[in-house]
Chains A and B, each alone.
Chain A
């Protein structure tokens, strides 16, 4: 285990006016893995990262970086930031504008008291690695955003840290550049096998780059899973709504099963769903997640819905927006509005009568939260 956080809590302010920035977060990151903390602003993800770095002092909890306890409030251990085995890239890059690229990257090695020749070798190697080999003597303000980003990355990597921390590093880049840097950061991380904790509010970054994604909300870690896991099987309503688009249907478990599926009574009618979990109590209210792309919509056939198929209803298109590759469609079923994402081959318009069907496999009950 390369990063381990146990019951991390950070309060800003004191006494009555104190605000929980992080409460009781626990997680582990395997050696060489890429964890992303995802969440809206103010959710505590940056505070968690800053606690890892040593830029904030937690009020409670333990942090272990590659086997070394760097924070333990119960044992009174607190290792200051400049002793921790980390490298960090800041949101603003924080490239010192009065130094050249070379001096920026050499700075941490100088702090560590490494010999001159060795510094030159390592800085050059590192700049080569991030693709900035020719810009050594450039002053920082004369760099583009993307180049500054690479300098920041080189500066964080040059000390060969155990853990790399990145705080929204791509949020100041334009869309095209962001896409390129996403791939590049991931490539570097794989190549160096460096354990990485990445903070972002951008779900595309989170899903595309990470081995694991942690979703935070109001200081709590509400989801922690693989990218596929957090998208397909979120545990919480917040997690379901924050990543991707979610249709949430409220219902009550009926305790019955139909054709091997479990069933619930909802606003749509009887909803059949697959649930790997064992016996849940009947009569409990529950939210069901249906992703828009899991909803099948077809023009209404006169034969009427086949009654032997589960989750098949009749509806009416209330809105259809053509998006190029996709058709974003809103369908009203017994007064419930469902968003559906269809391919452009569907030619539907508002007012069309349609049949709606959903595979029970793709309906996920959420934990009440």
Chain B
């Protein structure tokens, strides 16, 4: 018997090695990806010399950057702009999003499926394209709507000026409505309909019920949704960059961008701005977590759907149908139309009989022969596919540790993986830039640096998705594999990962779409030749090539739609355990 004991002892070590090696590696990667940039950001904000300077790594720290930032009128102007911008946008988007969500989730409005689809499909259009399309619609010089209104009402000057704080608020609102809509739809869907039905049986009308029961019930969710929207807007870059910068209206994100990239770069000042923005968003996230009790509902709002009884709106339902369709069309259809329209014209002009004669596919042809645009497509594809695959694998392993093991410190790992939610894109970009200006890993100026920043940025959402999937998976499925003499590695890759395919695919596609849209990190970290799509569109916009830009936009939209359709098909076919 004792002879056998020895062999079992050695086998034991081999088994544990694999598991601990993989999990240990994942933990190290996560620590590196999150804590190192944060450290550099904090450290750098106290340095008066730029990264790379021989004195940079010394412990000579000072508050000079903060003093300079908080002592300047520019900072307070940016603060005021940021808050007005974020507050107005969040409020407007919240109102419109809630209205649409209630219409589609809780009423018997006709065509609500179509309204839902139109409101959501907008997400796959990059924000920079939406912003540009609104400039094309509302610019005082070339805006189609301005020209139409001038012609219709015989106005002397264009009625709209996009280059204003109000213009920024309008465009950003349009940009954020789908998020507000999705979050509120989730809130309405997860509410127990019995509570409202009880009110209806108490001789209370539909609208009084909404005011006295539905609204108070949803209040905590409503506040948390509002905070999320605020968080998103304070971090926005597309609208402030395309509209705000030319108009001289700056917010935090554009301030960081300008101070860090203008020549000569003022790294210290950018650091002070970035730290301010980081603390603000960390505060908002902590508020959010206190409000909801957990971070779990950040993305996976689907939950258990009650499919509650729809309110009968009577003949009002036609009014809500028309108004929702107008809203959806006004916020998305118009923008989409302008992009398609300008992609078909050799130079940008409002629709008229003469212009129809010029319609053609020249821009698409030009795009095809334009190495810069094709290269950008390739870069985005590499970045999207690469970061999505790596992030989802990391997220799967992290979620495994957090959900399925009883290891000590797993809660800390969970917090670590979730913490990028509180790091604004521009702040992260600055931090990553500093890391690789100091650490001699040769990624600066390559696609790798953007990839590394994306891996950090998308950790939060992907771990939420994967944790939710793991929680649905019975432990016995894993144990059965171990009992069948499989190694842990085989168990993870042959049994667990395929079972998690729906969640994995959902997260994968989500990251690809967002990587294609992403602008702030790419703008900070790209180098000649490594521009992804969003940066390329920005360049084309600055260069005035509206036609090619629009054609590129349409191509991106087509690719994204294709991806989303594929992912839907996949999850329908292999959706083993979709709740």
**Is A215 at the interface (CB under 8 A from chain B)?**
no
Cα distance A141–B499 in the bound complex, in angstroms: 12
B476, A68: Cβ atoms closer than 8 Å: no
**Residue of chain A at shortest CB distance from B19:** A80
**Is B212 at the interface (CB under 8 A from chain A)?**
no
Stretch at the interface among B34-42, B50-58, B279-287, B477-485: B477-485
**Is A7 at the interface (CB under 8 A from chain B)?**
no
Q: Chain B residues near A77: list those with CB within 8 A.
A: 5, 8-9, 12
A83, B5: Cβ atoms closer than 8 Å: no
**Residue of chain B at shortest CB distance from A85:** B485
A98, B476: Cβ atoms closer than 8 Å: no
A111, B484: Cβ atoms closer than 8 Å: yes
A83, B15: Cβ atoms closer than 8 Å: yes
**Residue of chain A at shortest CB distance from B13:** A80
**Residue of chain A at shortest CB distance from B481:** A107
Q: Chain A residues near B486: list those with CB within 8 A.
A: 82, 107-108, 111
Q: Chain B residues near A67: list those with CB within 8 A.
A: 1, 4
CB distance from A321 to the nearest CB of B (A): 40
**Is B157 at the interface (CB under 8 A from chain A)?**
no
Q: Chain B residues near A156: list those with CB within 8 A.
A: 483
* Chain B 307-351 interface 0/1 with A at a Cβ cutoff of 8 Å (1 = within): 000000000000000000000000000000000000000000000
**Is A70 at the interface (CB under 8 A from chain B)?**
yes
Tally B residues with Cβ within 8 Å of A.
Answer: 31
B483, A86: Cβ atoms closer than 8 Å: yes
**Is A92 at the interface (CB under 8 A from chain B)?**
yes
Cα distance A77–B486 in the bound complex, in angstroms: 20
A68, B1: Cβ atoms closer than 8 Å: yes
A91, B476: Cβ atoms closer than 8 Å: yes
Q: Which of B8, B487, B488, B498 contacts A70 (CB 8 A)?
A: B8
Residues in B1-23 with C-beta less than 8 Å from chain A: 1, 4-5, 8-9, 11-12, 15-16
**Residue of chain A at shortest CB distance from B494:** A107
**Is B72 at the interface (CB under 8 A from chain A)?**
no
Cα distance A53–B484 in the bound complex, in angstroms: 11
Cα distance A139–B474 in the bound complex, in angstroms: 18
A81, B499: Cβ atoms closer than 8 Å: no
B485, A83: Cβ atoms closer than 8 Å: yes
A82, B499: Cβ atoms closer than 8 Å: no
Cα distance A83–B9 in the bound complex, in angstroms: 11
Q: Chain B residues near A111: list those with CB within 8 A.
A: 484-487, 490
Cα distance A94–B4 in the bound complex, in angstroms: 31
Given known A-B contacts A94-B477, A98-B501, A155 and B484 have beta carbons under 8 A apart: yes
A79, B11: Cβ atoms closer than 8 Å: yes
**Is A278 at the interface (CB under 8 A from chain B)?**
no
Q: Which of B484, B488, B499 contacts A108 (CB 8 A)?
A: B484
CB distance from B476 to the nearest CB of A (A): 4
Cα distance A96–B480 in the bound complex, in angstroms: 9
* Chain B 174-200 interface 0/1 with A at a Cβ cutoff of 8 Å (1 = within): 000000000000000000000000000
A96, B476: Cβ atoms closer than 8 Å: no
How many pairs, one residue from A and one from B, have CB atoms within 8 Å of each other in the complex? 99
**Residue of chain B at shortest CB distance from A155:** B484
Q: Chain A residues near B490: list those with CB within 8 A.
A: 111
* Chain A 77-115 interface 0/1 with B at a Cβ cutoff of 8 Å (1 = within): 111111100111011101011100000000110011000
A98, B483: Cβ atoms closer than 8 Å: no
B12, A107: Cβ atoms closer than 8 Å: no
A83, B12: Cβ atoms closer than 8 Å: yes
Cα distance A98–B499 in the bound complex, in angstroms: 7
B12, A88: Cβ atoms closer than 8 Å: no
**Is B211 at the interface (CB under 8 A from chain A)?**
no
* Chain B 55-80 interface 0/1 with A at a Cβ cutoff of 8 Å (1 = within): 00000000000000000000000000
Residues in B444-481 with C-beta less than 8 Å from chain A: 474, 476-477, 479-481
Cα distance A92–B480 in the bound complex, in angstroms: 10
Residues in A40-76 with C-beta less than 8 Å from chain B: 53-55, 64, 67-70, 72, 75-76
**Is A153 at the interface (CB under 8 A from chain B)?**
no
Q: Chain A residues near B577: list those with CB within 8 A.
A: 97
A80, B499: Cβ atoms closer than 8 Å: no
**Is B576 at the interface (CB under 8 A from chain A)?**
yes
B484, A159: Cβ atoms closer than 8 Å: yes
Given known A-B contacts A68-B1, A68-B4, A108-B486, A98 and B11 have beta carbons under 8 A apart: no
* Chain A 127-156 interface 0/1 with B at a Cβ cutoff of 8 Å (1 = within): 000000000000001000000000010011
Cα distance A330–B577 in the bound complex, in angstroms: 51
B5, A75: Cβ atoms closer than 8 Å: yes
Cα distance A159–B483 in the bound complex, in angstroms: 10
**Is B505 at the interface (CB under 8 A from chain A)?**
no
Cα distance A141–B1 in the bound complex, in angstroms: 43
A88, B1: Cβ atoms closer than 8 Å: no
B499, A83: Cβ atoms closer than 8 Å: no
CB distance from B339 to the nearest CB of A (A): 41
Q: Chain B residues near A94: list those with CB within 8 A.
A: 474, 476-477, 479-480
B483, A97: Cβ atoms closer than 8 Å: no
Given known A-B contacts A81-B483, A83-B11, A155-B484, A97 and B499 have beta carbons under 8 A apart: yes
**Is B242 at the interface (CB under 8 A from chain A)?**
no
Cα distance A98–B504 in the bound complex, in angstroms: 14
Residues in A153-193 with C-beta less than 8 Å from chain B: 155-156, 159, 165
**Is B574 at the interface (CB under 8 A from chain A)?**
yes
Q: Which of A53, A68, A90, A96 contacts B8 (CB 8 A)?
A: A68
Cα distance A79–B12 in the bound complex, in angstroms: 6
Cα distance A111–B482 in the bound complex, in angstroms: 10
Q: When A and B form their complex, which 3 residue pairs have the shortest distance between CB atoms, in order from nearest?
A: A108-B484, A94-B480, A94-B476
Q: What 6 additional pairs, Cβ within 8 angstroms, besides A81-B482, A159-B485?
A: A55-B483, A68-B8, A76-B9, A97-B499, A98-B499, A108-B484
Can you list 22 A-B pairs with a CB-CB distance of less than 8 A? A67-B4, A70-B8, A72-B5, A80-B15, A82-B15, A82-B485, A83-B8, A88-B480, A88-B483, A91-B476, A94-B479, A96-B495, A98-B499, A98-B574, A107-B486, A108-B486, A111-B484, A111-B487, A112-B485, A155-B484, A159-B485, A165-B483
Taking Cβ atoms with an 8 Å cutoff, the residues of A that contact B are: 53-55, 64, 67-70, 72, 75-83, 86-88, 90-92, 94, 96-98, 107-108, 111-112, 141, 152, 155-156, 159, 165
